[in-house]
């Protein structure tokens, strides 16, 4: 079975990015010249996914605008004969078949995913967290799809996190199945103490889930932070049916944090075809002043 649907939850308040997130969704913060969410849609599309549901919220209408055609720009660019720019705008809008739904209250990632039930139906589906950008040679969603196709179970994209930070992440109970691939039998969201953590492997931004997760989510009470946690539902799934985890290849940027946003723009800015060389020159001079 191939994964054909993806859900991008992008309805969170983004309090770590205040004050900008009050008016600009963190999922719309740019890396060079494209918003974070554009990288996610491209990643899903590059993994062969055709239908994408973005979960938004009031005040986040600019996400929909970004993936729409723009009559104003198209008219102006046509008049000026700027066919390359025209093509660029069309490419963005035509990358995938995207639909939108609102989460009316930010009650947690699990609550947001529940909004995708009608869109997903009985299919297994991918989730790309709206503020987690992962740049890799093979799209990380595709890496997860390969594990899914081999084992037929839900798959979590994981990375080891520093042990001193483990209480800020979720922690997975795992047994290695093959190099970098694990069987998951339990997990916990934000363990209270380091001793309560199963391991320092944590889910970072990508999962593939069976539709069964919706029944579990319906019965999931609010957990850490008073929110309905997707991790709590995945813990039940892991215990009842099992899940897999993949230590994926790729560099992750947490666009929901100020440091992650800055890091993304420095590293990807240096790689940019358009401005990379000039930016590198600037940085080399600038570090001398530090
Ligand atoms: P986060 O936990 O990083 O988002 O969720 P947050 O709650 O916005 O962050 P802070 O702590 O206030 O800064 C990961 C992804 O899930 C979405 C977010 O938009 C983000 O892309 N999310 C989170 C929802 O869609 N709904 C929610 O209720 C919570």
Read off the CATH number of the domain in which 203 is found. Answer: 3.90.550.10
For the CA of 57, the closest atom of ligand 1 is 25
Q: Is the pLDDT of residue 253 over 90?
A: yes
Which pLDDT score, from 0 to 100, does residue 1 have?
A: 83
Check: CB of residue 255 under 8 Å from CB of residue 245. Answer: no
Q: Is the pLDDT of residue 224 over 90?
A: no
User: What would the mean pLDDT of 25-39 be, rounded to a whole number?
Assistant: 97
CA triplet 242, 244, 246: central angle to 5 degrees? 165
What share of the chain has pLDDT > 70, as a percent? Answer: 100
Check: CB of residue 227 under 8 Å from CB of residue 139. Answer: no
In the reported structure, the alpha carbon of residue 204 is separated from the centroid of ligand 1 by a whole-number distance in angstroms of 13
Q: Is the pLDDT of residue 62 over 90?
A: yes
| Mean residue pLDDT across the chain | 96
Which helix (H) or strand (E) element contains residue 234?
A: helix 230-240
User: What would the mean pLDDT of 258-270 be, rounded to a whole number?
Assistant: 98
pLDDT confidence bin for 36, thresholds 50/70/90: very high
User: Pocket residues for ligand 1 (CB within 6 Å)?
Assistant: 9-16, 27, 55, 103, 106-109, 111-112, 129-131, 256
**Which tokens sit at 42?**
């491209």
Which residue, 233, 236, 209, 202, is CA-closest to 153? 209
Which pLDDT score, from 0 to 100, does residue 217 have?
A: 97
Q: Is the pLDDT of residue 240 over 90?
A: yes
Q: Domain containing 141: what range?
A: 5-272+279-289
> DSSP states of 160-190 as a string?
E--GGGGGGSEEEEEEEEETTEEEEEEEEES
pTM, whole model, 2 decimals? 0.96
For the CA of 16, the closest atom of ligand 1 is 13
- Count of domains observed in the chain: 1
Which pLDDT score, from 0 to 100, does residue 39 have?
A: 97
Check: CB of residue 237 under 8 Å from CB of residue 212. Answer: yes
């Amino acid at each position: 079975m191939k994964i054909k649907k993806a859900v991008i939850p992008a309805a969170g308040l983004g309090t770590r990015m205040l004050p900008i997130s009050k008016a600009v969704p963190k999922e719309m913060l740019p890396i060079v010249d494209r918003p974070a969410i554009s990288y996610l849609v491209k990643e899903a599309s590059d993994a062969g996914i055709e239908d994408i549901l973005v979960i938004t919220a009031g005040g986040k209408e600019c996400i929909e605008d970004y993936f729409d055609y723009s009559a104003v720009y198209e008219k102006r660019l046509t008049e000026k004969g700027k066919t390359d720019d025209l093509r660029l705008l069309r490419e963005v809008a035509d990358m995938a078949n995207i639909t939108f739904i609102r989460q009316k209250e930010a009650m947690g990632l699990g609550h947001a995913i529940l909004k995708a039930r009608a869109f997903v139906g009985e299919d297994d589906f991918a989730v790309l967290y709206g503020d987690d950008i992962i740049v890799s040679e093979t799209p990380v969603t595709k890496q997860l799809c390969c594990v899914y196709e081999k084992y037929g179970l839900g798959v979590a994209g994981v990375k080891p996190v520093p042990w001193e930070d483990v209480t800020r992440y979720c922690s997975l109970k795992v047994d290695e199945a093959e190099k970098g691939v694990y069987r998951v039998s339990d997990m916990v969201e934000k363990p209270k103490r380091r001793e309560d953590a199963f391991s320092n492997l944590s889910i970072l931004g990508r999962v593939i889930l069976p539709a069964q997760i919706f029944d579990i989510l319906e019965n999931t009470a609010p957990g850490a932070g008073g929110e309905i946690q997707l991790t709590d539902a995945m813990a039940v799934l892991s215990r009842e049916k099992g899940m897999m985890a993949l230590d994926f290849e790729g560099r992750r940027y947490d666009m929901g944090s100020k440091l992650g946003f800055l890091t993304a723009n420095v590293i990807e800015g240096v790689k940019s075809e358009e401005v990379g060389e000039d930016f590198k020159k600037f940085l080399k001079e600038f570090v001398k002043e530090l």
